[in-house]
Structure 1
Amino acid sequence: MPLLEISVIPEIAYDEAKLEAHLRKVANVRSNESIDFRLERRNIDARGKKIKVNLQIAYEKNRKLAPRELCHFEYQDVSEAPEVHIIGFGPAGMWAALRCLELGFKPIVIERGKDVRSRRRDLKAVNRDNLVDSDSNYCFGEGGAGTYSDGKLYTRSKKRGNMQRILDSLVEHGAVEDILFEAHPHIGTNKLPKIVQAIRETILKYGGEVHFETRLTDLVQEGNRIIEIRTSDGKTWPVQALIMATGHSARDIYYLLHEKGIRLEAKPFAMGVRVEHPQKLINKIQYHGNDYDEILPAASYKLVQQVDGRGVYSFCMCPGGFIVPAATAQEELVVNGMSPSKRDNNFANSGIVVAIELEDLSDYKQYGPLAGLEFQKEVEKKVWEAGGSTQQAAAQRLVDFVKGRISPELNPSSYIPGLISMPMHEILPPFMAQRLQAAFVEFGKKMPGYYSNEANIVGIESRTSSPVRIPRDRESYQHPEIKNLFPSGEGAGFAGGIVSAGMDGERCAEAAAHFLESK
């Protein structure tokens, strides 16, 4: 099967008929010959004034291409198999459960939130009524925070597992094959719920269990092992292997582990704001004024700047997306971003966050490994109070924030609960505000037009990653002191996004299976 690597203008890359005509010329296919082709890789290169699209294309002359090779998943009936208990049904928990099916172990998933369909009512209550259900929200529930997100599927953590397995598994459960060839694949918040539900149905079909609205409340140790766990429904569960995949916002789990004397570690993390521009402005900047709105996808960006020894960088950029309220408790304000599959909303938003190191938290050292968590909570509550103690978000126009002046009015926004003009330069901790202010000016030099009062900053973007790590051995994936506890995913501090969390869940399932087999 021949492979072609070509660069073409957008008008050709995104028009199948024009692309076929171009391929016929490049591959010397005569008019009386047929050609069958498919994309293996597509990447937009907008670095120069002339935008091009780099393509890798598989093709065959006069015969059909062989089907795309996908990973083959052989799930076993595990109805009577040894059990692996999994706390949390986000990406790490989902792929830990699927891997258990392949390895012949029965996954028993315990999820504090609701199934993906029931969860929607609670999201509506946050957006419309300012009511936060602490067990069912944008972070907690079937699929975790990843379900209601852009569904971005790229990761730098490729050494931690097989990224292709995660992508192929998503396709097997209903994702479009585009995610297999786009350089920056995404699914979209409108399509993710059905995929998440399909994953659950696979787990149930082969004998696994998924228990919703069931929160871990206690665990019982015997020596260096956990022998049972207890849940909010009053049930006690004997456990042999426990995968902890609770996500970066399950603060009660950190408190529980700390109370039980199970070692935790403070770790660096990041906090900042969401910045929202008109998508047309970002397109104009990134596509150098070319009118590609009807051809190219909504433009994204990636920015980073060192300020006073700390990185300030874009995080979870959502082209054509929405800002959403991501609080997990009533008295806090947290924002995040998401996009539909077509990324066709009028706004572009991104987290712009400041790296926070442990030395920045000296005022919180009395909290030990929970220092970052307590700092995080304090800032979220302060911003919540600034917004009127509702899910209305404190906001400021971008240049006004940098100049340290109140915005007399704000720009239109995708954020449904609404914005309230506040002096974010005073509300944010000074070391964060000052670094953000300096970075925004530099970002304006890197992307002329970005530093503009057409943009709002919205606070606070605080859940980029966990400020706490649940440590584990590099080889066995077990907690150093608890031999049958396998910390996994973002909540344990070992992943950052859907794909990396999924890969980490798979590795933890393999480690748990090895542990049980060697007993």
Structure 2
Amino acid sequence: MQREIELGILPEKIADETHIVQQGAAQLNIAPARIKGVKIRKRSIDARGRQVVFRIRVIFYIDETPTPEILNVQYANVADAPHVVIIGAGPAGLFAALRCLERGLRPVLVERGKNVQERRRDLAALNKAGIVNPDSNYCFGEGGAGTYSDGKLYTRSNKRGDVQRVLQILVAHGATEDILVDARPHIGTNKLPHIIQAIRHTILEYGGEIHFNSRVVTITEAFGRATGVTLASGEHIEANHIILATGHSARDLFELFHRKRWLAEPKPFALGVRIEHPQEIIDQAQYHCAVRSEHLPPAYYSLVEQVDGRGVFSFCMCPGGVIAPCATDKGEVVVNGWSPSKRNNPYANSGTVVQVNLEDVPHAARYPFALLDFQHEVEERAYVVGGGNLVAPAQRMVDFVQGKLSDSLPANSYKPGTKSALLSEVLPPFVHDALRKALPLFGKKMKGYYTNEAILVGVESRTSSPIRIPRDKDTLQHPQIKGLYPCGEGAGYAGGIVSAAIDGMNCADAITD
């Protein structure tokens, strides 16, 4: 017999299975000896009361031995099967490729960037010297933007597909089983590259192809049907089915759609800054303590406020994390955040952004690239105000709200460096004003948040794609080009690793349904 119940467990006891069995037996009113096994289904931290506890949902196996769950994925050798070209080796592209293997199709992945090992050199050049390789950076390369910017797996995308299956596939390729139970699963930038490499080996082992350093310059079509892709090298790969999984920063392919007069449309996105606090401030606020217990992870927060009818919210929060330079071209400053698996850096950072709607940008109603151009202009201003070499304009939090240039900036994690500046010179007025009003309100929600010990670093602008490439809701094909499947974050249909992976699998399914 199996019974599932919820327990509250003190942090110092969360790793003690004997204690969990005793607590479960007491609640079930049975002898502990009758419990032959336990399985934690979900685990989260409850810090609402004075005593912080872990809330866990546990299956207790009573008078029976549990059988281990094994992910059964049947991959066929597809070396001689019909092929599908997949543009982009981020989570959407990689999981589309894995699903192609299941469906008996040969995935041919075409990635403009480098593999995960070779990307490291370009990231080092970004951080140390401010040198941007437009084809290999935090956004482009094997694994996509998530590989070196955290690997957070939290999603609300359950209605789009099987979230648990995505997590199980990641575990099968080397992720810890913790991601199957944690309320906010997280792999960590130090561990995710090895998992991505294992997925690559699976794709190749079963007959797929992967082409790195292969930027697509055009998608060919005839009589309204996709016929293939042409690479910057001049090579042409014929294909009747193309999954477009390029990520949210592939502006050159968005421009390709514009040149070919293929349908694309503006999409609202969010824009703001990355805010960093000393991690201890967040721990003290969230855990109601002077010093965080060694049995608790660095604390997380999520904040949202409506300001004059406009949403302002925290995004991609990184406890124990680092602010990273995520520019994809020269002359722009873009920031994001990531954490290692242990989340053991001394700072906590989060994107804090303001909703940008179509009516905020001139001509957006009739020019599909208006929001994309708007995004780029802000990134270029950040570069100019920062003074070059990816130095980011920054301001202390209270100074920002009061409109004062900071006399000094606190130590922070952004390696290319920060320069004291008025962020009003970078951010659009409606974004700047909304942030100024929201931050003191956030401070009322979370003690210690509103402080000059916190730094605002500009700009956080790649929250999602400012373009949506339309597709038929049933076939998932572009309405003008049959056989072309817009997919993932870049096409406007996902918002993170898990949702992008699900969308990749859905597009592969659409080809064979």
TM-score range, shorter chain: over 0.9
Cα distance in 2 for residues equivalent to 1:42 and 1:365: 44
Number of the residue aligned with 2:309: 309
The DSSP-based 3-state class of the residue aligned with 1:294 is: coil
Number of the residue aligned with 1:13: 14
Q: Which runs of 5 or more structure 2 residues have no equivalent in the other structure?
A: none
1:429 aligns with 2:411: no
The DSSP-based 3-state class of the residue aligned with 1:336 is: strand
Map 1:15-54; keep pairs closer than 5 Å: 15-16=16-17, 18-27=19-28, 30=31, 35-54=36-55
Number of the residue aligned with 1:517: none
Which amino acid is 1:44 matched to? I
1:448 aligns with 2:451: no
Cα distance in 2 for residues equivalent to 1:70 and 1:278: 41
Query: Structure 1-normalised TM-score?
Result: 0.96
Map 1:229-308; keep pairs closer than 5 Å: 229-289=229-289, 291-308=291-308
Output one character per residue of 1:308-346: Cα deviation in whole Å (capped at 9) or x when no partner. Answer: 221000110011111000000011000000011111111
Number of the residue aligned with 1:389: 388
Which amino acid is 1:313 matched to? F
Cα distance in 2 for residues equivalent to 1:167 and 1:492: 23
Output one character per residue of 1:407-439: Cα deviation in whole Å (capped at 9) or x when no partner. Answer: 111111111111111111332111110001101
1:166 aligns with 2:166: yes
Which amino acid is 2:344 matched to? D
The DSSP-based 3-state class of the residue aligned with 2:66 is: coil
Change (3 A) 1:259 1:30: same
Number of the residue aligned with 2:81: 81
| Per-residue deviation, 1:219 | 2.1
Which amino acid is 2:20 matched to? L
Aligned residue pairs total 512
Cα distance in 2 for residues equivalent to 1:33 and 1:123: 54
Cα distance in 1 for residues equivalent to 2:370 and 2:154: 30
Cα distance in 2 for residues equivalent to 1:285 and 1:425: 29
Q: Is the 8 A contact 2:100 2:508 kept in 1?
A: yes
Change (3 A) 1:70 1:441: farther
| Per-residue deviation, 1:149 | 2.1
Q: Is the 8 A contact 1:402 1:425 kept in 2?
A: no
Change (3 A) 1:229 1:31: closer
Number of the residue aligned with 1:187: 187
| Per-residue deviation, 1:35 | 4.3
Cα distance in 1 for residues equivalent to 2:251 and 2:25: 58
| Per-residue deviation, 1:221 | 1.9
Which amino acid is 2:414 matched to? Y
Cα RMSD for the two superposed structures:
1.6
Change (3 A) 1:289 1:361: same
The DSSP-based 3-state class of the residue aligned with 1:101 is: helix
Which amino acid is 2:264 matched to? L
Number of the residue aligned with 2:143: 143
Map 1:476-487; keep pairs closer than 5 Å: 476-487=475-486
Identity of paired residues, percent? 53
Q: Is the 8 A contact 2:358 2:364 kept in 1?
A: no
Cα distance in 1 for residues equivalent to 2:93 and 2:46: 36
Q: After the TM superposition, list the runs of 4 or more consecutive aligned residues in structure 1 that deviate by more than 6 angstroms.
A: 31-34
Cα distance in 2 for residues equivalent to 1:208 and 1:291: 51
The DSSP-based 3-state class of the residue aligned with 1:492 is: coil
Change (3 A) 1:260 1:393: same
The DSSP-based 3-state class of the residue aligned with 2:145 is: helix
Change (3 A) 1:367 1:124: farther
Cα distance in 2 for residues equivalent to 1:446 and 1:341: 28
| Per-residue deviation, 1:12 | 2.2
Change (3 A) 1:20 1:418: farther
Output one character per residue of 1:366-388: Cα deviation in whole Å (capped at 9) or x when no partner. Answer: 98100011011111010011111
Output one character per residue of 1:227-271: Cα deviation in whole Å (capped at 9) or x when no partner. Answer: 121001210111110100000000001001111111100010011
Cα distance in 1 for residues equivalent to 2:495 and 2:33: 51
Cα distance in 1 for residues equivalent to 2:225 and 2:337: 39
Q: Is the 8 A contact 2:266 2:467 kept in 1?
A: yes
Number of the residue aligned with 2:456: 457
The DSSP-based 3-state class of the residue aligned with 2:55 is: strand
Change (3 A) 1:509 1:34: closer
Cα distance in 2 for residues equivalent to 1:55 and 1:291: 24
Which amino acid is 2:90 matched to? G
Greater mean deviation of Cα atoms: 218-227 or 162-171: 218-227
Cα distance in 1 for residues equivalent to 2:393 and 2:233: 37
Cα distance in 1 for residues equivalent to 2:84 and 2:143: 19
Cα distance in 1 for residues equivalent to 2:300 and 2:189: 17
Query: Structure 2-normalised TM-score?
Result: 0.97
Which amino acid is 1:237 matched to? I
Which amino acid is 1:217 matched to? V
The DSSP-based 3-state class of the residue aligned with 1:369 is: coil
